[in-house]
Structure 1
Amino acid sequence: MWNVLDDDAVFPTDEVRPSEVAPVLPLFGTVEDETVLGWQERALCAQTDPEAFFPEKGGSTREAKKVCTGCEVRAECLEYALEHDERFGIWGGLSERERRKLKKRVV
């Protein structure tokens, strides 16, 4: 086996100073994405059929809205949809049309 270190190499001690530690970066996305979108992991829709949240035109939204009613991250979901101008699907318990009306009232 080869020694790739110098014989005089200084080995790190068990004590590591915070200034010496390189930051840990996620492989995908950014650190902000992980904290901002963390609500999606707790969303009830992530545990149900996604097709219910994107019904065909004229299709029922009742089932999706029923799931949203009991979801703990409903407010975060709606806020995300409004901020990112989501144009399709049920987000935060509201349809596309309902979100447009809400945006008009706020503006």
Structure 2
Amino acid sequence: MKFIVPTRRYAPTSTKTAPEQSRPACANPADADLFFPNGNTGPALLQIAEAKRLCSVCPQLVQCGNDALERGEEYGVWGGLSEDERSALGRRTVCDQLLGAA
């Protein structure tokens, strides 16, 4: 079983002191496996789609996606982006940097 570990950056330390809308959509421990599908084909596509649906309403969407790209997260759905989408963005960024340097 995989867990999303809430940090101060994503989740408040107490739900009583912060409004509910500031908590990330993935803060529910029951949904932790949803964000880490086994593979990216077949039944995993439904799981990825559901994780992205939850991400789409998350107040931390952009920050989560940017942080995942910076950290080089290889697995799971982060910031509404699947493993393949983050990989493609990383490749495109490297190509853009190389073309800009030439």
TM-score by length of structure 1 reads: 0.61
Task: Show the 5 A alignment for 1:27-66.
Answer: 37-41=7-11, 42-47=23-28, 49-57=31-39, 58=41, 59-60=44-45, 61-66=48-53
Percent sequence identity over matched residues? 41
**Aligned residues between the structures:** 71
Unpaired runs of at least 5, structure 1: 1-36
SS at match of 1:97: helix
TM-score by length of structure 2 reads: 0.64
RMSD of equivalent CA atoms: 1.3
Cα drift, residue 38 of structure 1: 2.6
Unpaired runs of at least 5, structure 2: 1-6, 12-22, 95-102
- The aligned residue for residue 90 of structure 2 is 103
Cα drift, residue 40 of structure 1: 1.7
